[in-house]
Amino acid sequence: MKQLNYLYGKPLSRGDFKSSAEDFMVDEILDIVLTGEGEHVCLQVIKKGENTQFVAKQIAKLAGVAPRDVSYAGLKDRHGVCSQWFSVPVAIKKHIDFSALNSDSIFVVKQTRHNRKLRTGCHSGNHFKIILRNVDMPLDILSRINAVRQGVPNYFGEQRFGHDGYNLEMAERLFAGEQIRDKKLRGIVISAARSHIFNQLVSLRVAEHGLAKTWHREVFLLSGSNAFFEDDISDETIARLSSGDIMLSAPMVGKGEKGLVEQERQWLEPYSAWQQSLGQLGLKIERRALRLIPNQLQVETLDSATIKLSFSLPKGTFATAVLRELVQHRDASKDNFNQEVVDANPA
């Protein structure tokens, strides 16, 4: 991540991130209307200092089902206070009081029935409250806020790649023929490789063109959709970009070259072996938004060395992509915990 280009130049200020669990608060935004009846119980849970899989296992144990039967909208960081939604199958005539899970690290806020299980990615986004401590140049952060409100490179965060990039090392071994029997881990490793290539392409575009300048021909992503199309820049496409109807994008590589413009094909040449391997694994080319816009970004100075940030992001995006354009942030949680090789926020 340190090698990726900055849109607004490398920040001058340094600060500590995740000094305590309460310094990193995440509230999952679930827009689904729950039916109140059905064979699945949906739980809104606040967890502190626990990972999502641990909570899922506790729910499964109480419900008397296998951990694989517990689903959730998205993975959340261990090192924070995070609210998120889970679902678990429970026979209609059976009642389980899931408040029995309440402890110093888990609190069940709400439980209600629904007619289907929650699926990964069914949430619309997350709201973040982040406190930066030991900030040495707060004015540099404050001077960047208005620029960052206009958007930052939509990089995947370092948690996607595992501790010290271990997921990418595993990807190299997988592409060389080594087997990964754990399907979940295999998916994480494949996703890490794809995300790494995306980051490199976005970084190259940031260095050469920024995020505002367009090429003569672009691959546009329809807002709120995975659909994309290639077209020349015209008055019509510029108007649609301005309205937010479509977005500039970069490729999530897979089989073939459909949906790639010539500049992207050139930039992908150093990653051709990985691209070919991803295609052989059955992945198709997709597109991801080039720019990430933090919604309702607010900043508050708590004291001369402490700053509080709050903002919302769409699902599958990373708060650290916003932070890195504001401050050189040090993850203080690494002082106290060993990092796990997990994807904390899959797209």
Query: What is the predicted pLDDT for the residue at 2?
Result: 83
Query: What is the predicted pLDDT for the residue at 201?
Result: 97
Average pLDDT over residues 334-347: 47
Query: What is the predicted pLDDT for the residue at 121?
Result: 87
**Contact status, residue 44 vs residue 112, Cβ threshold 8 Å:** no
Higher pLDDT, 4 or 162: 4
- Strand, helix or coil at 306? strand
Query: What is the predicted pLDDT for the residue at 163?
Result: 84
Confidence label for 183 from pLDDT (cuts 50, 70 and 90):
confident
Cα distance between residue 39 and residue 9, in whole Å: 52
Cα distance between residue 76 and residue 321, in whole Å: 16
Any idea which of 7-21, 122-136, 207-221, 313-327 has the lowest mean pLDDT?
207-221
* Residues assigned a catalytic role: 77
Contacts of 33 (CB under 8 A, 6+ apart): none
Confidence label for 5 from pLDDT (cuts 50, 70 and 90):
very high
pLDDT in tens, 85-106: 999 999 999 999 999 999 999 9
Cα distance between residue 203 and residue 37, in whole Å: 47
Query: What is the predicted pLDDT for the residue at 336?
Result: 58
Cα distance between residue 337 and residue 300, in whole Å: 28
Higher pLDDT, 235 or 224: 235
